[in-house]
Chain A
Amino acid sequence: MAKYASFLGCQIPMRLPSIEIASKKVFDKIGLEAVDLTGYSCCPEPVISRLLDKTAWLATSARNLVLAEENGLNLMTLCNGCYETLAETNEVLKHEPEELRKTNEVLKRYGKQYKGKVNVKHAVEVLYEDVGVNKIKAHVVKPQKLRVALHYGCHMYREQPGADIMRKPNMMKELTRLTGAQVVDYGLERLCCGYPSMQADEEFSLKQRLMLKLSRMQEAGADAVVLSCPACTIQFEMGQVMLRQQGVQFNLPSINLMELMALSFGVPSKDLHLEFHKSPVLQLVQKMEAV
């Protein structure tokens, strides 16, 4: 049985606990042991904190890696942003001795040291590589007859230099198909949802990023968008609310891959508490259940 330290991040437990619930249900069903990381902090988020102070960014992230290392476990993230921070920190600390020395100098004050023994994986990778397609397929008892557009999220493309950036997105696509959903192509899969640019220019973020994606998804006849990143989910959900306030009507359900997977495993929607969503995920799922 695969066993990982589970890094929940900030947005999932605080804003979208339905993803936390769904992932627990999925992991239980497929026999993946996900151990909560006691005492963890924000990864920290990969935009503001990295730009403001790299040493603090590395040290805070390394502290989270140490918590997994102390448990003798590799780390699994459910959030693309957390994956970006933790995987990149891990690479830096494993390959740049001077950064490792500086980071451990900070951690030493708190009796901690990072030895570089942890591997960081996105939950998509863990499901695909550690659990495997066949095992997941065997648990699908309620195929989700939906046409879905995929938004992989920018940090999902993060790979070693020279490696195939579509490696994890392709895994996500295949996992989505396992749920019974039909993936529709809309041509703007790689475009950012606009979440990070929301901090700098709301108009640009909504009109030049999110709206373009939503329009193409709608044209492609998607019933919903499937995501793997809570920040992107927030952008899709709150962004649609903000667009409606400006007279632009979109109401596309934005569902997380874990939630879709849990539904396909036969978990009743009421057990997933999909009411945390700000887009009509609950309505879509109830409609599906009524069929």
Chain B
Amino acid sequence: MTKPQNRITEHLKRELGTDFIEATSPRERRIFIRIMPTGLRKAVTTLKQTYPELRLMTISAVDHGLDFEFLHHFHINGAVVTLRSIKPKEDNTLESIVDLIPAAHFIEREIADLFGIKLANHPKPEPLILSKDWPNDKRPLRRPMEGELPPQARPSAETLISTSCVAPISTFIQKKREEAGLPRTPPFAFTDDKTMQEFQGIMKNTGFANKAGYDWEKKRLRYK
């Protein structure tokens, strides 16, 4: 017979499609399902429709420095199911599920208070435990927007991911190299699109760039 956690996981996998990332079950009747934040409301909707006995236990939020992790914990037929979604801090919003699960009302407002997160589509997005004049930049559980790298290491890491080397080459040095009879640039990966794609592919696929907090669109770290 299929275990309940397998049935729940398979159901969400089918319904969420690309919004489903992975599922882990460290022990009997305990499931962690990692989803894209865009799939949160769809996941809650389909779980509620399929498992009418579903009950919201609580919602946790974790400030990882560069990202917020939201954990929506549900009880379904003796199993505890946690939907994990991670959002970049720049987004700074939590999609409300109050219209689907009214019990989320207070905990979402508490999260908003403690972390300074804006609630999207909440019926009453007002402070719950902090005073209305509480300063926005002094939220009790909000950490600074910082990744794992210490300040002095950030320029090197940013240059490494952007250019495949840790020391940027200036026009001055290029000119001086040429004057000295050397090629303007050494045969670095960045001098060729294919080799640069290889290098940056490794940075991306191993998770290095993500750990460093690199923004591929802006070509710089997400923090200074």
On whether the beta carbons of B207 and A11 are closer than 8 Å, the reply is no
Within 8 A of A (CB), among B164-194: 164-169, 173, 176-177, 179-182, 185-189, 191-192, 194
A14, closest chain B residue (CB): B167
Contact, CB under 8 Å: A13 / B160: no
Write out the residue numbers on chain A whose beta carbons fall within 8 Å of the beta carbon of B198. 39, 63, 110, 112
List B contacts of A42 (CB < 8 A): 160, 164-166
Q: With both chains docked as a complex, state the minimum distance between the C-beta of A285 and any C-beta of chain B, in angstroms.
A: 16
Against B, the Cβ 8 Å flags (1 = close, 0 = not) of A35-48 are 01111111011011
A52 contacts which chain B residues (CB < 8 A)? Answer: 148-149, 157, 208, 211-212
Known: A8-B186, A36-B187, A48-B156. A55 touches B206 (CB 8 A): yes
Whether B49 sits at the interface, judged by CB under 8 Å, is: no
Give CA–CA (A200, B152) in the complex, Å. 7
The 8 Å CB contact of A198, one of B152, B166, B173, B191, is B152
A199 with B164: in contact, given A8-B186, A14-B173 (CB under 8 Å)?
no
Asked whether A59 lies within 8 Å of B173 as measured between CB atoms, the reply is no
A17, B182: Cβ atoms under 8 Å? yes
Residues of chain B within 8 A of A48, CB atoms compared: 149, 153, 156-157
Q: Is A288 located at the chain interface by the 8 A CB criterion?
A: no
Tell me if A49 and B208 are in contact (CB < 8 A): yes
- Which residues of A1-46 are within 8 A (CB) of B? 8, 10-11, 13-15, 17-18, 20-21, 36-42, 44-45
- Cα separation A145 to B169 with both chains bound (whole Å): 35
**B176-A17 in contact (CB<8A):** yes
Does B199 reach chain A (CB closer than 8 Å)? yes
Does the CB pair A60–B202 fall under 8 Å?
Answer: yes
- Whether B199 contacts A60 by the Cβ 8 Å rule is yes
Q: Could you tell me the distance between the alpha carbons of A11 and B205 in the complex, rounded to whole angstroms?
A: 26
Cβ of A59 and Cβ of B168 under 8 Å apart? no
Q: A44-B166, A48-B153, A106-B206 are in contact. Are A21 and B180 (CB under 8 A)?
A: yes
Check: B201 CB closer than 8 A to any chain A CB.
Answer: yes
Output the nearest chain A residue to B208 by Cβ-Cβ distance: A56
- Distance between Cα atoms of A14 and B188 in the complex (Å): 11
